[in-house]
Structure 1
Amino acid sequence: MTGARDTVVLITGATDGIGRATARALAAHGATVLVHGRDARRVAETVAEAETAGAAAARGYVADFESLAAVRTMSARILAEEPRLDVLINNAGVGILDTRHETVDGCERVFQVNFLAGHALTRGLIERLAERPGGRVVDVASAGQWPLDLDDPQSARDWHGAFAYGRSKLAQVAACLALAEREPRVAFNALHPGSLLPTKLRPPMLAPVDTLDTAVDAILHAAIDPSMAGVTGRYYDKREPIEPHAQALDSAFRERLLRIAGGLIAAG
């Protein structure tokens, strides 16, 4: 695979699991890798790994996605320090929780970390991504999408760990496709990287189906492969283009979701 050299890639949730493996792989392809995580020590470790693996350069950014203020601060720092950004990989997320929690912004934790924070970051960086031809956003989502009631997007009435996770991933995919329609200067695609264990992508009682290498390959394909140049508004099962949940294809639903997300981001 070619396409990574002379490319600046920001990957969120890059300090463990799929994110860390993807950061190493991007480095091995010669990219400049911007590493995000919520723990400064682990960010520094991942930056060092990327440098050792062959990155043109590697730099770290620390932010806890349970705080929208932290996301804004990170976005502002990137705009100040990175004159170029070619690819944003929204990989940060949490898995299936046992109990409903709210963040400092008053949002349901899974909804915020898996969808809202990444969406806020994308909005904050979209102009930088659009400055050069070929900018891409890749949302690492899940096949486990679950219908989302926009009258109760944060599951205040009927919270269940698996449903909250699936709803957050439905929102992530729907917003990605909506942005693809709104912003033609940047390519937006979402993907299910495969079902792995142990990761946040699969309940722990289920056996693994795919390998970490398969997941990394799927993300790299969407993020840097030349064959994906100009491809936008698609959802993939690894490398295979497929249809997402029907709700994610509903344009009225998508536009309302973006309005709700925009209001929450502004209030956060």
Structure 2
Amino acid sequence: MSGLSTRTVLVTGATTGVGLETARLLAGRGATVLLHGRTPEEAETAVEHLVATTAADSARLRPYAADFAHLAEVESLARRVLRAHPRLDVLVNNAGMAAPERHTRTADGNEIALQVNFLAHYLLTCLLEPALTGEPGGRVVNVSSSLHRTGSIQWSDPHRARRYSRLAAYAQSQLALTVFAADPRVTAVSVHPGVCDTALLPLYGLEGATPAEGATHVVRLCDPAVEIVNGAYYEGDERVEPAPAAREERTVRRLGRLADALVGRAA
């Protein structure tokens, strides 16, 4: 029996691309999968698609919705998940977007790629910490990008209001997500699933592997049989060194303070 058959996994951004294929593979191995989508309709459609195209048990697929451009919806999502699933084995922080051509802020005041790709996941992870750490073995898998190596966190201007570049904004969001994996509150790893043929492909300018191929690398790290070290970074199935900032305790702490302030959790 698969080590995932008793696991409950929340996958953000599970309606298309690598997220949908991750949900498909997890469901095929017997996991209870919470599929997050931006809207209820998108999440429900994804569940219906998996039920129609796989042998997955529909009772073990649950749709959840939240628009990560609105932090209040992230908080609502966390409350709904905690009520229904006081124990959560794995959180896959996968939802992501390419930064837009023009500098864009959310209603919360944050640069949109920073919020959708990092801050929403930061907030969700913090709020779900009780469910992830209530019993041994809970883990977080951050779906990051090799482009995090080209990024820098602009501490004095995290929203890049003074000098905006869509590639720099995207890289910053991926670096922040990768640094966050080393936060000691919840055991977490980051994985670059490879360049895949998804909506993010134009950022890389290359041909991509199928989303299903990328998803195999994510699902491997969800399996309790695969031992992980907090803060580890993988490219595909290979553990490699992340950008130096992702190994610096001072940067991890500083990012936590910045993120707390930006999501409204500051003391």
Fold match (TM-score > 0.5)? yes
1:10 counterpart letter in structure 2:
L
- Give runs of aligned pairs for residues 210-225 of structure 1, distance below 5 A: 210-225=209-224
Aligned mate of 1:110, from 110, 113, 121 = 113
Can you give the 5+ residue segments of structure 1 that lack an aligned partner in the other structure? Answer: none
Output the TM-score relative to the length of structure 2: 0.92
Output the TM-score relative to the length of structure 1: 0.92
Runs of 4+ residues deviating >6 angstroms: none
Taking only the aligned residue pairs, the percentage that are identical comes to 36
* Residue in structure 1 matched with residue 157 of structure 2 by the alignment: 152
Query: 1:103 and 1:57, CA in 2 relative to 1: closer, same or farther beyond 3 A?
Result: same
Structure 1 residue 49: deviation in Å? Answer: 3.2
Aligned CA RMSD, in angstroms, stands at 1.8
Aligned mate of 1:171, from 176, 195, 213 = 176
Aligned 8 A contact 1:33 1:59 in 2: yes
Aligned 8 A contact 2:197 2:211 in 1: no
Aligned 8 A contact 2:167 2:203 in 1: no
For residues 84 and 50 of structure 1, what CA distance do their matches in structure 2 show? Answer: 24
Matched pairs, number:
261
* 1:80-110 C-alpha deviation (Å, 9 max, x unpaired): 1223211000001101421111001010000
Structure 1 residue 24: deviation in Å? Answer: 0.9
Q: Which moved more, 1:258-267 or 1:105-114?
A: 258-267
1:67 matched to 2:70? The reply is yes
Can you give the 5+ residue segments of structure 2 that lack an aligned partner in the other structure? Answer: none
For residues 61 and 222 of structure 1, what CA distance do their matches in structure 2 show? Answer: 22
- Give runs of aligned pairs for residues 47-196 of structure 1, distance below 5 A: 47-52=47-52, 53=54, 54-55=56-57, 57-145=60-148, 146-177=151-182, 179=183, 182-183=184-185, 186-196=186-196
For residues 141 and 204 of structure 1, what CA distance do their matches in structure 2 show? Answer: 13
1:210 counterpart letter in structure 2:
A
* Residue in structure 2 matched with residue 226 of structure 1 by the alignment: 225
For residues 204 and 226 of structure 2, what CA distance do their matches in structure 1 show? Answer: 37
1:199 counterpart letter in structure 2:
A
Q: Which moved more, 1:246-255 or 1:87-96?
A: 246-255
1:99 counterpart letter in structure 2:
R
